[in-house]
Structure formats: C-alpha cells, structure tokens
Structure 1
C-alpha cells in the first residue's frame, strides 16, 4: 500500500483521530487535548513509516502499526495482564505505552490541570 507523503498526511490523520476521540470519549476539546492528540498521531505516523523505533523493554504491549489505506493507519497491540495469579493475553495498548511512544518520538504530552 502506498504511503502518503508530506505534512498533509499528519494533518488529515490528526483531524480524523480528533473527531473519533471526541465522539468515542468524553475528552474535552481544549487546546491541551488537541496538542496531545497531534503529538500522538505524529508519533504513530513516524512509527508506521519506521522513522522511529521504541525499545521493546520499554513497552508492556507489542505494537503493530500498518497502513491499510493511503489515509488510514491500523494500530493494534497485545500485552500480558495478570490477575489473581493468572496471566492472559489482552488485545490493546496501554496508556503508559502511548506515553513512551511519544517520548521516544522526542515530544512530551501535557497533563490537564484539574484545579480551578
């Protein structure tokens, strides 16, 4: 599958991602959230294009990032979850792994201030 090139892919992917997050979750639409989403999408695009690598020992999940269409990225993963002395494989990616991915990309996510 051909990979899109240029800044257009980042902007389009970010807008699609922001819309899906806004519809699926109760996250705010403030500037901090949008900046964090933009950084995450940039890091995922860089990982898909093999511009960055994340050391496996820093992650709980194994990432799988691939282009499924010219403007669509599939992100999946699996990690081990331990409960009651049992370990099972769970599909998904942890929030901590997403933070690590963005840090390996050379950026930092901002935290929202809940103080008023």
Structure 2
C-alpha cells in the first residue's frame, strides 16, 4: 500500500512540475539570440478571414537588424498589428535568423554598438 501511495504522490509531483514549467517558460524566446531593429514601414499586409467571420491582419517587415556587437543581418518578421514606426525592437532569432518573437525596448536599453549602427 505504501508503494502505491508513493507512486501516486510521485506522479502528482511530476505532473505539477510539468505544468509549472509549461506555464512559465516561453519556448519562443528560450535559447534564442537577440538582434535589434528600428521599425520601418511594413513591406506588405495580408488580410485573412476566419471561419467565424473575424478579420485577421498580418503585417510583414523586412529590414536590417543588428547584433549586440553591431553586425548587420537581414531579417523578415510579421506582427498581428501594424507596429509603431521608429520604435526599437529586440527580436528573438534562432540560428537560421528566423524571428520567433519580439519585445519593444527603449533607446537607452540598446547596446552601444547597436545605437551606433542605427
């Protein structure tokens, strides 16, 4: 009987730990490199109509981005709303320079090499 109770408690603890990890870890940002951009004009906008009748807009951006040491790379990313022109973004990119997420940052938060490049 003690073995069964211990097994059940162990499974519950593992389940709770898995739920906590899934709720707190953002896998779109974990283990990614950061590059920085200043938002320009979108290159295109797409409009999709969902089955519910709701309209979804996707705005595509393609522009140079800069690593923390000032190296330039070309990135292409999308947003579900038109981004504020002139805003600074920290993009999360994988090893193939694919953008998985972004955060808006203030100019004073930019690395010195990025400020110089922008």
- Assess same fold via TM > 0.5: no
Larger fraction in strand: 2
TM-score (norm 2): 0.27
